[in-house]
Structure 1
Amino acid sequence: MMKVWAIAIVAAGTIAAMPVLAQSDAEVSAAYTPLFDRCMKSGDAAQGVTAGVMDCLGRENIRQDARLNHTYKVVMGGLNAPRKATLRGLQRSWLEERESTCHAAMDELGGGTASAIVYSNCFLDETIKRTLYLKNYRP
């Protein structure tokens, strides 16, 4: 019986902490750069042409990756050696998880040009979520 209570307490704590870890769609959308918004509202992207959308997503992925890398370096700079090692391990695991998550999202479509857009958009959103997570990281 004690084991059941222990599991319930851990589960409740995990669920209670989830809002801190998870980012809302609004938070992710708010993190897109104005350049991305302009790109998506103009030219081929505004017409839904795959190449135009992919160009906008690709450029935004580069910008957001730079934000992520900057945030990661700032956080790492404030940690002692053991905590740096922990965060480095977490970051490596997250990189694999992001790849796996986005491939799964793409695979659900079974191929085609839309799957490339889904993958790139997933990659972008997951990168933004990680940046937001790191900005609030408390070891």
Structure 2
Amino acid sequence: MIKTMMIALLLSAPSLTLTHADPTPAITARYSQAYDDCIHHGERTGEMAMPGYVCNEREYAVQDARLNQAYKMVMTRLTEPRKAELRTLQRQWIGQRDMVCARREIAEGDVEGYVGVKLECLMNMTIARTIFLERYR
């Protein structure tokens, strides 16, 4: 059953592929205004720009809270067996997310920027998972 659900997930969300180096429009549409303001702070104010990892760290916290809220909402409407299935899927997803982002950190990171690369990956994968949970039936 879990294998079938994983296949369904992959087929139902091709635009939310978890390993995209660049976020899809569905993901960027979910960025908060605070994130946009943070990223473009220097351009708008003429002041020194915030380091990207600071913006990513803040946005990851926002998106993680949204993910947790979506997860809780889905769990309230599921039967006990389906709750158990979703818990298993969620744990598998966390492992996959961590592996993908660690690989991306190694592949794209450098001494100064690795924190930002990993956080951006975590942030975008979290948004993609939130979208999945919001559509979960």
The answer to whether TM tops 0.5 is yes
Whether the aligned pair in 1 keeps the contact of 2:30 and 2:127 (CA below 8 Å) is yes
Whether the aligned pair in 1 keeps the contact of 2:59 and 2:123 (CA below 8 Å) is yes
Indicate the residue corresponding to 1:96 in structure 2.
95
**How many correspondences in the alignment?**
122
2:15 partner letter: Q
Indicate the residue corresponding to 1:123 in structure 2.
122
The 1:21–1:35 alpha-carbon spacing in structure 2 relative to 1, beyond 3 Å, is same
Runs of 4+ residues deviating >3 angstroms: 46-49
- Post-superposition offset of 1:63: 0.5
Gaps of 5+ in 2: 1-6, 17-23
- Percent identity between the aligned chains? 34
The 1:127–1:47 alpha-carbon spacing in structure 2 relative to 1, beyond 3 Å, is farther
Which protein has the bigger helix share? 1
Whether the aligned pair in 2 keeps the contact of 1:54 and 1:117 (CA below 8 Å) is yes
Instruction: Kindly report which structure 2 residues correspond to 1:1-139, keeping only aligned pairs within 5 A, or say none.
Output: 18=11, 20-24=12-16, 25-43=24-42, 52-109=51-108, 111-138=110-137
State the superposition RMSD in angstroms. 2.5
- Post-superposition offset of 1:118: 1.1
Whether the aligned pair in 1 keeps the contact of 2:109 and 2:117 (CA below 8 Å) is no
SS at match of 2:95: helix
Gaps of 5+ in 1: 1-13
TM-score relative to the length of structure 1: 0.78
The 1:107–1:48 alpha-carbon spacing in structure 2 relative to 1, beyond 3 Å, is farther
The structure whose Rg is larger is 1
